[in-house]
Structure 1
C-alpha cells in the first residue's frame, strides 16, 4: 500500500471516529432534553390558572381542549413534512421554541381568544415533536450499532422523564402558592428555551427507514379496514377507547374538585405527583394481579370497575382524604389500563398493519374527546358531583357488558 493510501485510510478512520463520537453525544443530550421538557410547573395548577387568573369558565377550558385536539389533526401532516424534508433535528428545534412561544402567549392577556391562540401554537409544537425525538434516538443507536439497547434505553428515558415530571409538578404547586399562577406558567417557558438551545448540539443521524406521512383520512381508512375484519380486535378497541376517554376526565376535573373543597394550592403538586406514582405502582402489579385472579379477563374487569368505584368515591364525599383516595384509584387504574389493553391489541394486528391500525384507534379516541369535551365542561359546571358519579356508574356497568372475552387476551 502506498503512503498516500495509508494517509487517506488514516484520515478516513479519524473521520469515522469523530463521527461516532458526535453520535455518542446525542444520547446524553436527548436524555437531558427529555428531562428538561418534562419539567412542567403548570401541570398541577392548570385549572386554577385558567379560572382564577384567566377568568374563564370550566366549559370554556374544555372548549380550548377541543380546539387543541382539532389543531393537532390539522397540523400533523404539514409539520411531518418538515421532519421528512429538512430533518428531525430542525423539527425538534422548531418544536421547543414554538412551545415556549405558546407559554408566553398564555400569560400575555387573560382572555379566551388569547388562550385559544396559545392552544393552537402548542398543538403545532406537539405535532413538530411527534415521533421526532424517538426517531433520532433509535437512528442514533443504529449509527452506533447499539440498536439492541433500544428497549432498555427507552425504559430509562421514560423513568427519568417521570421523575422530572414529579419534580416539576411538586415545584409548580409551591411556586403558585408563593408567587401566583401567572408566574408559575411564565417560569414554564424557561425549560423550553433551555431545550431549544441544547437541541442545536444534536447531530442528525441518517434515516434508516424512510417515512412518508399519509393523510389522516387514508390512515383511518386502512386502519378501519383492519379493525372491521377482526372481531377480537374490535372488542378490545371499543373497551379501551370508551374507558380511556372516561379516565381522561379525571385529569381535568380533579383540580376543580380540590378548589371546591378549599384544598390549598400548595398541595396540588403533591397530589399530582401522587397520581403519577400510583400509575407506576399499578403497572408493576399487573402480572401479580393476573396470577392472583387466575384470569386476564378478571384483571380487565377489576381495573375497569375499580376505576368506576374510584370515580364514585371521588364524587360522593366532601371529605378531602376520601376524595383524594378515590381520585388516586381512578387515575391509577384508569390510566394504567390502556397500556395493558394495547398490549393485548398488538397480538391481533399484523406487523405491517400495526402503525395504521394504532393510528386509527388514536384518531377515534381523539375525535370522541373533541366532541365530548365541551359537553362534559357544561355538565361539570351544572353539577360536578353528578358527572363524577355518572362516569363512575357507566364504568362499572360497562365492565359487565364489555365485548372482551378471555379468548381475545393473548400473551
Structure 2
C-alpha cells in the first residue's frame, strides 16, 4: 500500500508541475520585460541570453554530479529556491552588470534542475516495476504542459499591460507552492536507495567511457531534434508577420500550435506503440523535420502554417522520444542524473551552434530560407547519427536496457 501511495504522490506532483511549469508566464514576455522594464538594448538582451546559455552548458555536468551525490530531491528543490531569488533580483535590479551576473547564477540553478526531476521519477517508477505507468503519466504531463502554455499565451498580454512585473510575481508564487509541495510529495533519496538490491558492481562505473559511449548516439539524435525545434521557434514571429498575419493575432496562432502539440503528445504512446519499430520512429522524425522545415522555404505564403503545424507535431512527439534516453542507461543507475545532464549539455551546445549559424544565414537570407537551411542541415546530421546508431546497435555495440 505504501508503494502505491508514494507513486500516487509523485504522479500528482508531476501533473501539478506540468500545469504550472517553469517561468510559465514570464517566459512568454521575457524579451519585452528586458527591453521595457530593465531598459537594456536588444543587443544587450541577446548578450544576456547567450551568457545564460553558456552558463547552463558549463554547469550542466557538474550539477548532475552534485545532484547524484547530494540527492536529486534536495537539488531540485534548491533549484526552485534559486529560481525565486533570480526572479526577485530582476524585479529590483536593472543594472546591466547585475543582470549578467544574475543570469550566470540562473544558469547554475537551471542546470541543477535539468534532468533531476526526470531521473528521480524514472528511477522510482522503475524500481516499482511501473515503467509503463511512468511513460503514460509522462506523456500526459507533456500534453498538460502544452495546454497550460497555451492558456498563459492568451493571458500574458493582459497581465503585462496591467503590470510589467506581474508575470514574475505570479511565477514566484507558483514556484513557492511547488517548493512546499515537493518537500512532501517527492521521495527521499534513501527511500529509493533502500529499494535497490543486488546492484551489479559495473553500475558504479557509469561514467566510464564505455557507458557514456553507449548512450551518446541516442543523446545526439534527440539533441539535434530539440535544437532544430528550439531555434526554429525564434523565426516564427517574423515568418508569421511576413505572410500577412496581423501582430495582434500572433498569440492566437501560437496558442493553436500549442493545442496541436498537446494533442499529439497525448497520443504519442499510442503512436509509438503502433509503429513499434524504433528505426521507423527515428526515420519518421527525419521525414517530418525535412517536410516541416523545407516546406516553409519553398512556399513562403499562408501554406507555411501547414508546415509549422508539422513542426509542432514533431514537438509533441519529442518528449516521449527524449524519455527513451533512459533506456540506454543501466537500470537502477546511481548516477542517472549525471548521464542525463550529458544529454542536456548536448541540447544546449546544439542550440548555441544552431543559433550562431542562423545568425549568419539571416544576414543574407529571409527567415523562410533560414528555416529551410536549418531543416536541411538537421536532416543531414540526423541521417548520419541515426545510421551510425542503427549499425552499432545491430552489431551489439549499443545496449538498450529497457524495451517497450
Give me the TM-score of the superposition, normalised by structure 1.
0.67
1:253 equivalent among 235, 240, 245 = 235
Which one of the candidate residues 272, 285, 289 is aligned to 1:307?
A: 289
CA distance in 1, matches of 2:392, 2:3: 45
**Equivalent residue, structure 1, for 2:308:** 327
For 2:104, which of 120, 129, 134 is the aligned residue?
120
1:5-404 alignment runs, 5 A limit: 26-27=9-10, 30-31=13-14, 33-35=16-18, 37-38=20-21, 40-50=24-34, 56-57=41-42, 60-61=45-46, 64-65=49-50, 67-74=52-59, 76-77=61-62, 80-81=65-66, 84-85=69-70, 87-108=71-92, 113-134=97-118, 147-149=128-130, 151-153=132-134, 155-156=136-137, 158-160=139-141, 162-177=143-158, 179-180=160-161, 182-202=165-185, 204=188, 206-209=190-193, 222=209, 226=213, 239-258=221-240, 261-264=245-248, 265-267=250-252, 270-274=255-259, 276-277=261-262, 279-280=264-265, 283-284=268-269, 286-287=271-272, 290=275, 297=279, 300-315=282-297, 319=301, 321-333=302-314, 336=317, 339-340=320-321, 343=324, 346=327, 360-377=342-359, 379-380=361-362, 383=365, 384-395=367-378, 404=387
**Matched position secondary structure for 1:188:** helix
1:62 Cα offset (Å): 7.4
| 64-73 or 356-365: bigger deviation | 356-365
User: Residues of 2 paired with 1:237 and 1:21: CA distance?
Assistant: 32
Give a deviation string over 1:316-361, Cα, whole Å, max 9, x none.
5564x533322221232266358548859957x7769995776545
Q: Secondary structure at the match of 2:387?
A: coil
How many pairs are equivalent?
374
Q: Could you tell me how far apart the structure 2 residues matched to 1:134 and 1:238 are?
A: 18
Q: How much has 1:106 moved relative to structure 2?
A: 3.6
Displacement of 1:388 after TM fit? Answer: 1.1
Q: TM-score, normalised by structure 2?
A: 0.68
State the alpha-carbon separation in 2 of the partners of residues 33 and 256 from structure 1: 33
Contact 1:314 1:323 in 2 (8 A): yes
| 8 Å Cα contact 2:63/2:108 also seen in 1 | no
1:378-405 per-position Cα deviation (integer Å, ceiling 9, x unaligned): 5446643331121133345567767628
Q: For the structure 1 residues 112 and 249, does the alpha-carbon distance in structure 2 shift closer, same or farther, using more than 3 Å as the test?
A: farther
Larger Rg: 1
Structure 1 residue 51: Cα displacement: 5.6
Secondary structure in 2 matching 1:148: coil
Deviates more, 1:324-333 or 1:76-85: 76-85
Question: Could you say if the C-alpha distance between residues 246 and 220 of structure 1 is closer, same or farther in structure 2, counting changes exceeding 3 Å?
Answer: farther
Please report how far the alpha carbon of residue 191 of structure 1 lies from its aligned counterpart in structure 2 after TM superposition.
Answer: 0.8
Query: Structure 2: which 5+ runs fail to align?
Result: 197-204, 395-402
Counterparts of 1:393 and 1:34 in 2: how far apart (Å)?
A: 35
Over aligned residue pairs, what C-alpha RMSD do you find?
4.8
Which runs of 5 or more structure 1 residues have no equivalent in the other structure?
1-16, 212-217, 228-232
1:304 deviates by 1.4
Q: For the residues of structure 1 that align with 2:123 and 2:386, how far apart are their CA atoms?
A: 40
Moved more, 19-28 or 202-211: 19-28
Deviations 1:32-77 (A, max 9, x none): 6524542612344445555666654379537614533433532653
Q: In structure 1, what is the Cα distance between the partners aligned to 2:309 and 2:210?
A: 34
**Equivalent pair of 2:293/2:374 in contact (CA under 8 Å):** yes
